[in-house]
Structure 1
């Protein structure tokens, strides 16, 4: 069984970049092979020059054939010289090989005022100069940078750290391909390209028409009905929404078939609503390079494959929904593959759709969604081992650089040998899979900085969520009195070398934390923050956070609260609790995840949330009493059964009701359940 490469989930953009670089190298080679061309007059210019009388000054000008790279061209710039002669002379200058090597920016063709851009050639030249510079720096570093040797020893020690493996899910593809497109031209191009492939191809055209058969390939028309697509590699279901119900296209093609194995969606935009398409779903969206790579990859997607299970879900601590009230929706909003769906009071993760982006686990406030490729505690333990051994080997100023397995690795590949010795680069499946608890644990264990490397494979929606997490982290750093640059994002357009060599503020020298890696997400974060708080010079006790942060307090209007305790009963983390036999509402802020269930469940609508974080460990763990009352006792037997505010609210609302118009009827509301029955009968 083959392990499925997940590069295709990114629409082959990685291959697109490689192809662009290859084209640049080819163009550069061709340019070197071409000899400088002698400039000749065009027929139009020749006729123009013959018919244009020369001025007196022009008669003393040197012949154009005699001009070279070292000639004096200044006399051609005289206002007495005709424009046509000036253009010919300057064109001769600009087309010279020496000048173009010096310029390298544009290719001047027939006239110096008209030029064709060289495109990536100048970029390639810059890359060559940068490569030479980096190779020189690498050689110097081998001689003077002791951190390089310490880094090698540290990574060798990390290799000995065990990591709990995750399970795998199987995928089976028989090569049944469905091409979906509106226009005929891209369909014919795809069919021609795949003619010799082992795939069994069918076509669904968007629009009206009669069913066709093209060279043994069945062509079906959507008849302008809505097309719905679900599934993944080896199990795609494509249906048309008809008045009689769903029409399964696979069964229309072959009555013995239920699904397609592969989809080639040639529509722009594609029919899939996911930011990251399912495995086996190719959607070039008009990009010819991506289409070409898709057509090359499709024939290889036949056989048995397997992919990792990236997530583990614990419904017991999930703050999604409860008692028909809407709670946390963070993971559903974050998932770029649409692999997470709501199932009542819980969520469901489709391991076949999930491709390991991990940002869902990063934004999960309770840890109900846990990334397991690797587990957070395994990642933290590896970081702890890496930093400890780096320091032990004499390394100084360690900076962690996290990058994604696919495009992130591609981005640092050309500078890895010349990377400063204090840069400890850590490959992860996706940068979005690590969050606050990992970043702050790294700082607590001795890292001076934590850098996250962006890439073109990260969907914009995922990048925005990571940026929000980084903003929260930087606010916390400022509250602790540390530089916000200690946790930072390296954008895809930022020159990586400049960032790594840049001298920005980092963590001061602090005592390194000694605690072990924790599996509980919030405990891991608070352990790290507690350590940094103790090491800080003048930390703030509390800081405000953005509105959608997963930390904060619950506020109530105590005058309107009846202590019904609906909020305490629905709280998934026990941040809100009842006072036992005494009417009281307690709140413990370190447990609150700002899910909003208490706000939804309150019948009086007097609960509100405030995003903030208590950096002081003592304040964060304190138990606060939001409201407390003496019990209300039965007016007949004296048994405590409610609260004064609850009785006052009920009697106030029912005072004018016809059922309580008789004398003494309202008093029954002030009786316990037993005395109320006796009084009525």
Structure 2
């Protein structure tokens, strides 16, 4: 049996799960396999060796023994097989007899070829800086010092009875850490009142005089101080309470392996041109900066920039970004949408019921495996999909899943990562506001749970009927384009479609309201808008909005000098949202000398009113300069009376020519 160019090797795991291979082959659009293996990883392992030696690309329907099959392929100098777990996710279930559509979906998903993920290289020589006050600092230094360059920094108030080591193979200082920066392989801690240990200390440690502020550099930091963190959590910085022995042992073991070069994914991709952080010094959107738990994002000009060496791949920045300027890029491109589409389309094509798309991360996979081993497993129509970071999911993916036929979307989060979930909670709330506003019940749930029994309880409920027909659009664009496709499909097939759906403050859709009395049509808001939602008119003073582009970032509001703009969150489904709508328009002001239109009436009238009592505009005709175009204003300025000309000087001398000199000579003749 071949799927996607790969030979599929099915195993019933010693007969513990039923496999209807004929129905499975029909669902996958291929021929049934010649054999379903009983124990491919043990007694029938030679069959895998032979298949690997043939050079065929293989897909093995077993997740548990993936390391074994990878090693056998390596020994055979064959490509590493793709391994997919159909047992814990489908075969070991109280509804295994109905799980064929789900098994087909899981196999179809597994054969998709993801785009290569960009990476960043971190280099560590293994030097360690240990912060703390008690004997645990010197003990940790002793254990690491044989193989690592270790520096100890004892904080003010340290144990006064500490005895220096008889042979000092480490840096030993006292001082107060002030701030820290950097990443694995390049940490820097700024220390105040730094003092080195005295070499002649006979009993307890003593220190020389402080030398002032200094920076201590290290590849890794072990913080046993018990003080508030100097840095947001990141790779290479280990922080724990000084009396947490278990955590300390884990840290020492991990530090021992952090020497050399390490590749980590470049988790985040930033498109600065779309960023709504600021324009012209006016700050509006700080959602990603506020959401990032590792401190990897910072303002750079008008946009947010990411330090890929610091970024830990948590993902909430991508979830909360209203424009799509920040994208979670693992898998690269639109790979997650490809997987989602394949899962739902294959399940539906194989005759599956109303599916629940269960999205989880690595921790969720462990809970689902426990549910299969010790419980009834997943229901037949619950389709699991693992992602790298649950917190990176935004409303665009949730609404796309509903549009493509998921009866319900369930996000299974790790309870230990609750602090990362504010962004995805907002995405879930927005998706449900849209679903309920269009006549469906709540369709998206977020559950932070690791207990298999509790997970089984909330999976027991049947999903509502999915959207029919399911959407077939391809996701090729960014966040806003994807949202537009999903919303259009959901609205077109909604039980109770509405023209305009009110939303809440912070939701990334809407328009703006303009105070007609205050607005002067200066167009400051147009130049600030990062989404190209606001525009002027080439022939007359006019402010318009393309509502489908508005992300409610607020840059127009903070930029407006007259404070005439307010945000109006809503979701408009009509065609007018895709057409330019006029917010304010007026006749142009014509130059009082030449009649040329050069500005809006509001601007000229407001400037005339404000400048009427200004000292520079006192005097005959000076205020009229404001009412002239740029050309006439220059001419008029030099036609004012002599005393009113601020740049006037002495009359220039008359130019003399050769004819003048010749005439004078003849006259004197």
Q: After the TM superposition, which residues 466-477 of structure 1 pair with which residues of structure 2 at under 5 Å, given as runs?
A: 466-477=424-435
The CA RMSD measured in Å over matched residues stands at 2.5
The 8 Å contact of residues 212 and 219 in structure 1, kept in 2 or not, is answered as: no
* Pairwise CA distance, 1:544: 2.8
Secondary structure of the residue aligned to 1:300 is: coil
CA distance, structure 1, for counterparts of residue 366 and residue 244 of structure 2: 21
User: 2:126 aligns to what?
Assistant: 175
TM-score, normalised to structure 2's length? 0.74
1:458 aligned onto 2:413:
no
1:281 shift after superposition: 1.2
Q: Structure 1 residues 139 and 588 mapped into 2: Cα distance closer, same or farther (>3 Å)?
A: closer
Which region of structure 1 is more displaced relative to structure 2, 550-559 or 668-677? 668-677
Question: SS where residue 613 of structure 2 aligns?
Answer: coil
Residue 178 of structure 1: how far off its partner (Å): 1.5
List per-residue Cα deviations over 1:613-671 (Å, max 9, x = no partner). Answer: 22x14243232111000111112111111111111111111222233332333223222
Alpha-carbon distance in structure 1 between the residues aligned to 2:606 and 2:575: 37
- Contact kept, 8 Å, 1:203 with 1:217, in 2: the verdict is no
Query: 5+ unaligned residues in a row in structure 2: which ranges?
Result: 1-87, 195-210, 640-669
Q: Determine the structure 2 residue equivalent to 1:55.
A: none
What's the counterpart of residue 364 of structure 1? 321
Match of 1:527 among 481, 485, 501: 485
Once residues 571 and 434 of structure 2 are traced to their aligned partners in structure 1, the CA distance between those partners, rounded to angstroms, is 8
Select the residue among 170, 189, 193 that pairs with 1:218. 170
SS at structure 2 position matched to 1:400: strand
User: What SS class does the counterpart of residue 458 from structure 1 fall into?
Assistant: helix
* Separation (CA, whole Å) in 1 of partners of 2:332 and 2:264: 16
Pick aligned residue for 1:440 from 399, 410, 413: 399
Shift of the 325–135 alpha-carbon distance from structure 1 to 2, 3 Å rule, reads closer
Determine if the alignment matches structure 1 residue 630 to structure 2 residue 587.
Answer: yes
**Taking structure 1 as reference, are residues 140 and 217 closer, same or farther at Cα in structure 2, changes over 3 Å only?**
same
What does residue 198 of structure 2 align with? none
Query: What is the distance in 1 between the residues matched to 2:615 and 2:149?
Result: 76
- In the other structure, the counterpart of 1:100 is none
2:137 paired with 1:203: no
Counterpart CA distance in 1 for 2:323 and 2:624 is 46
Contact 1:483 1:507 in 2 (8 A): no
SS at structure 2 position matched to 1:466: helix
In the TM superposition, what whole-angstrom CA distance separates every residue of 1:152-189 from its partner, at most 9, and x where no partner exists? 1111111222221112222222221111112x133244
Greater CA deviation, 557-566 or 200-209?
200-209
CA distance in 2, matches of 1:402, 1:662: 74
Which SS does the other structure have where 1:497 is aligned?
helix
Q: Which has the higher contact order (CA 8 A, sep 6+)?
A: 1
Q: CA 1:490/1:135 → structure 2, altered by over 3 Å: closer, same or farther? A: closer
Equivalent residue number for residue 296 of structure 1: 253
- Counterpart-to-counterpart distance in 2, 1:493 and 1:158: 25
CA contact (8 A) 2:406 2:466 kept: no
Distance in 2 separating the partners of 1:676 and 1:173: 66
Contact kept? 1:164, 1:375, Cα under 8 Å: yes
Decide whether aligned partners of structure 1 residues 167 and 607 sit closer, same or farther in structure 2, where only a CA change above 3 A counts.
same
Return the alpha-carbon distance in structure 2 between the equivalents of residues 641 and 606 of structure 1. Answer: 22
Q: Is the 8 A contact 1:222 1:240 kept in 2?
A: no
* Paired residues for 1:69-148 under 5 Å: 138=92, 140-142=94-96, 145-146=97-98, 148=99
Instruction: Determine which of 222, 236, 244 is the counterpart of 1:280.
Output: 236
Say yes or no: does 1:161 pair with 2:112: yes
Deviation digits for residues 7-32 of structure 1, max 9, x if unmatched? Answer: xxxxxxxxxxxxxxxxxxxxxxxxxx
Please say if residues 212 and 220 of structure 1, whose CA atoms lie closer than 8 Å, have aligned partners that are also in contact. no
What does the per-residue CA deviation read over 1:233-270, in whole Å, with 9 as the maximum and x for residues that have no partner? Answer: 22211221469875122xxxxxxxxx312111112244
| Residue aligned with 2:218, SS | coil
Contact 1:327 1:597 in 2 (8 A): yes
1:391 to partner: Cα distance: 1.3
Taking the TM superposition and a 5 Å limit, the aligned residue runs for 1:469-508 are 469-484=427-442, 486-492=443-449, 495-503=454-462, 506-508=464-466
- Deviation of 1:284 after TM superposition, in Å, equals 2.0
Cross-structure match for 2:354 = 397
Equivalent of 2:614 in 636, 648, 657: 657
Offset of residue 361 of structure 1? 1.3
Which of 214, 222, 225 is equivalent to 1:247? Answer: 214
C-alpha distance 660-178 of structure 1, shift in aligned 2 (>3 A): closer
Counterpart of 1:410 in structure 2 is 366
SS at match of 2:121: strand
Distance 2:456 2:317 in 1: 30
1:273, distance to aligned residue in structure 2 (A): 3.7
1:186 to 100, 111, 136: 136
Contact 2:367 2:450 in 1 (8 A): no
Q: 1:607 aligns with which of 565, 580, 603?
A: 565
Give the C-alpha shift of residue 303 in structure 1: 2.6
SS at match of 2:445: strand
Q: In 2, are the aligned partners of 1:208 and 1:221 still within 8 Å (CA)?
A: no
**Bigger proportion of residues as helix:** 1
Counterpart position of 2:292:
335
Q: Does the 8 A contact of 1:204 with 1:222 survive in 2?
A: yes
Contact 1:376 1:438 in 2 (8 A): no
Equivalent in the alignment of 1:674: 631
Deviation of 1:204 (Å) = 0.9
Q: Does 1:324 align with 2:281?
A: yes
Q: CA deviation at 1:340?
A: 0.7
CA distance in 2, matches of 1:584, 1:241: 58
Partner of 2:389: 430
2:308 aligned residue (347, 351, 372) = 351
* Cα offsets for 1:452-488 (capped at 9, x unmatched): 111134251x21222122112211111111111x111
Secondary structure of 2:330's match?
coil
Which secondary structure does the structure 1 equivalent of 2:633 belong to?
helix
Structure 1 residue 376 displacement after superposition: 5.6
- Deviation per CA, 1:490-518, whole angstroms, max 9, x where unpaired? 12377111111124x53445101111112
Secondary structure of the structure 2 residue equivalent to 1:289: helix
Q: Match of 1:69?
A: none
Q: 1:261 to 1:669 in 2, by over 3 A?
A: closer
Offset of 1:151 from its aligned partner? 1.1
State the distance in 2 between where 1:161 and 1:246 align: 55
Q: Could you tell which deviates more after superposition, 570-579 or 154-163?
A: 154-163
Are the structure 2 counterparts of residues 395 and 534 from structure 1 closer, same or farther at C-alpha, using a change threshold of 3 Å? same
1:588 aligns with 2:535: no
Structure 1 window deviating more from structure 2 (661-670 vs 508-517): it is 661-670
Note if 1:558 corresponds to 2:516: yes
- Work out the CA distance in 2 between the residues paired with 1:157 and 1:137: 16
